Structure 1
Amino acid sequence: MAESIDESKNVEVTDEDLENKSKGELIKLAGQLRDRRNDLNQLASERASSRDDLNAKTREKVNEAQEHREKRDELNEQVQEHKEQRNELNAEANKLFDKVDKMKNDLELDEGKSVDKLESEIEDLEFKQQTEVLSSDDERELIEKIEEKREQLAEKKEKLDQTGDLDGLKEEAEEVRSEASTHHQKVTELADEAQKHHNEMIEAYREADDIRDDADEMHEKFVDAQEAADQHHEDFVRVQKRLRELDKKEEKAERSAREEKQEAAKEEAEEIYQKFKEGETLDTEDLMKLQKAGKL
């Protein structure tokens, strides 16, 4: 930033100076005041220019911050739109999955053993029947278990044949959920970008405040220089006024002296003329004085 004014270079004028200094001293003083005034005006102009540059940079930073604000707000609007779509799709997916669960409950698909498990158990029982020596009661009991397992297997397969609509419904629910996830991803990406613009907006405003502080400080220094220049100009005018007063006094004194001299010359010429009329002999100098006075 600009340095303070070097007050040691300032020129001061008191009423006593105006009253007591000679004309030559006042002329010198006026020159010093004029030169210092011009230097201070130049300094004030430079500081005003620096202040204006800083104010322009402040406006640039404020405009930059506004651009980030507008972009942030635009992105936040998009975030809100994607949130709404995501929530709507998640609600729709939840409804579809609820239907899937209800259908599975109606078909009792989650109850009992799976087809693979039942088929494995039947194979084990049949292998036991074929390879082991059993009593009549044990073999009959084994056959009944095999039949029971086969009935469970047939019932399970029959229910599975009715799950075509269930698979389609489940696939639709998963697609809707996937679409909701896509919108959620957009929410995350846009929110991150909006936050980035928000941070850049805050930083731009902070920089604008810092530059504005520098501009305000430079304006104060401009005012200091301008006021000092104005003071020197006022004192310069005061000295010039005093010089004009002295000039008038000198002119008045010169005019008075000239008039006194003319009057004395006139009186002297009148005395010489009286001598001339009385017949006295006049020398060349006396004749010249008479001629100058218009007596000859």
Structure 2
Amino acid sequence: MAESIDESKNVTLTDDDLENNSKGELIKLAGKLRDRRNELNQLASERASDRDDLNAKTREKVDEAQEHREKRDELNEQVQEHKEKRNTLNAEANELFDEVDQKKEDLELQEGKSVDELEDEIEDLEFKQQTEVLSTEDERELIEKIEGKREQLAERKDKLDNTEDVESIKEEAEEIRSEASHHHQKVTELADEAQKHHNDMIEAYREADDIRDEADEMHEKFVEAQEAADQHHEDFVRVQKRLRELDKKEEKQEQSQREAKQEAAREEAEEIYQQFKDGETLDTEDLMKLQKTGLL
């Protein structure tokens, strides 16, 4: 960062300097003021350029942060979309799994005998009916028993047919759950990417703040140099004004001296001219004096 200006190099001007310094001293002082003013103006220009560069970098960082912000927001929107799809699909899958559980509960597949067992029992009962001599009562009971077994067999077969529907629903539920898992994976990936852009945005804003602080400090240094340059310029102008006043004063003095010399010469010439009129003899120098004043 730029250092403060070296005030030891500054040129000071007091009212006493203006009033009492000689013209030569003032000319020398004006030169110093002009040179120091030019140095400070050059320094101020350099600092203004550095400040502008820093401000440009600040804007670049702010733009970079804004890009990360927009990307983060875009990703968060996608995250929300996938979340909604995931939740909707999970809800659909849960409904189907609940339906499967309910159907299984309704079917009660885990209870009762298998189809093969029931068929074997019916076959045994029918063989008994055909081969054994039974009383009317026993045969009636046997027939009722066979009919009961046949009803159980038909019910069991019907339940087994319905299990295909259960498996189909279960497969559909698992497919939907798998699709929901895909959306959940996208939620995780996009959320991680959005967080990265968020972190990059925060870092870019932090860097922008740091650079802006440097730019503000450089602006203060620019103002310091420019104000010092302006002060030297004001003092230079004051000295120049004083020099013009002294020049006018000298001109007036010189004019007065010329006029005094001219008056003295005229008076002397008039005396010589009177002598000439009185008949006195004039030498060459006297004649030249008369000619200069226009009396001859």
Specify the code of the residue in structure 1 equivalent to 2:182. Answer: T
**Which residue does 1:144 correspond to in 2?**
none
Cα distance in 2 between the residues matched to 1:167 and 1:156: 19
Q: Within 2, Cα distance between the matches of 1:32 and 1:38?
A: 10
Query: How far apart, in 1, do the equivalents of 2:224 and 2:217 lie?
Result: 11
Match of 1:121 in 2: none
Shift of the alpha carbon at 1:284? 1.3
Alignment-mate amino acid for residue 280 of structure 1: E
Paired residue total: 263
> What do residues 62-103 of structure 1 show as CA deviations (whole Å, max 9, x unaligned)?
011001000100100010011001001000000000010011
Closer, same or farther in 2 for the Cα pair 1:212/1:113, shift >3 Å?
farther
CA distance in 2, matches of 1:17, 1:8: 19
- Does the residue aligned with 1:163 lie in a helix, a strand or coil? helix
| Cα shift readout 1:16-59 (whole Å, capped 9, x = no counterpart) | 00001000110011011011101101111110111011001101
Aligned to 2:5: 5
C-alpha displacement of 1:275: 1.1
* 1:122 paired residue number: none
Q: Which amino acid aligns with 1:78?
A: Q
Do residues 82 (structure 1) and 82 (structure 2) align?
Answer: yes
Q: CA deviation at 1:111?
A: 4.4
2:285 maps to which residue? 285
1:163 aligns with 2:163: yes
1:162 is displaced (CA, Å) by 3.3
Poorly superposed stretches of 4+, deviation over 4 Å: 111-115, 153-157
Change beyond 3 A, Cα 1:106–1:4? same
Give the Å deviation of 1:294: 1.2
Give the Cα separation in 2 of the matches to 1:156 and 1:36: 113
AA in 1 matched with 2:108: E
Q: 2: CA distance between counterparts of 1:210 and 1:155? A: 84
> 1:71 is aligned with what amino acid?
K
**CA distance in 2: counterparts of 1:106 and 1:239, whole angstroms:** 112
Unaligned 5+ runs, structure 1: 119-149
For the structure 1 residues 166 and 229, does the alpha-carbon distance in structure 2 shift closer, same or farther, using more than 3 Å as the test? same
In 1, Cα distance between the equivalents of 2:110 and 2:217? 79
> How far is the alpha carbon of 1:164 from its aligned partner?
0.7
**Alpha-carbon distance between aligned partners in 1 of 2:184 and 2:110, rounded to the nearest angstrom:** 32
Q: Which residue of structure 1 aligns with residue 268 of structure 2?
A: 268
Distance in 2 separating the partners of 1:293 and 1:162: 150
5+ unaligned residues in a row in structure 2: which ranges?
118-148
Aligned AA for 1:295?
L
| Aligned-pair Cα RMSD in Å | 2.2
Does structure 1 retain, via aligned residues, the 8 Å contact 2:73–2:194?
yes
Letter in 2 for 1:186: K
Partner of 1:39: 39
* Alpha carbons 2:44, 2:225 under 8 Å: kept: yes
Please give the secondary structure, in 1, of the residue aligned with 2:295.
coil
Distance 1:110 1:27, change over 3 A: farther
Show the counterpart of 1:139. none
Aligned position for 1:177: 177
C-alpha distance after superposition, 1:98-125 (max 9, x if no partner): 010011111112447999xx9xxxxxxx
Structure 1 residues 99 and 240, CA gap change in structure 2 (3 angstroms): same
3-state DSSP class of the match of 1:97?
helix
Amino acid at match of 2:172: E
Provide the residue aligned with 2:48 in structure 1: 48
Return 102-111 or 252-261, whichever deviates more: 102-111
Task: Give the distance between the partners of 1:26 and 1:74, measured in 2 at CA.
Answer: 70
Give the AA of the match of 2:254: E
Query: 1:113–1:203: structure 2 CA closer, same or farther, 3 Å change rule?
Result: farther
> Which amino acid in the other structure matches residue 267 of structure 1?
E
* Displacement after TM superposition at 1:280 (Å): 1.5
For the Cα contact (< 8 Å) 2:58–2:209, is it kept in 1? yes
Q: 1:231 and 2:259 equivalent?
A: no
Could you say what secondary structure the match of 2:183 adopts?
Answer: helix
Contact 2:114 2:156 in 1 (8 A): no
**Deviation at residue 290 of structure 1 after TM alignment:** 1.0
AA at the equivalent of 1:93: A
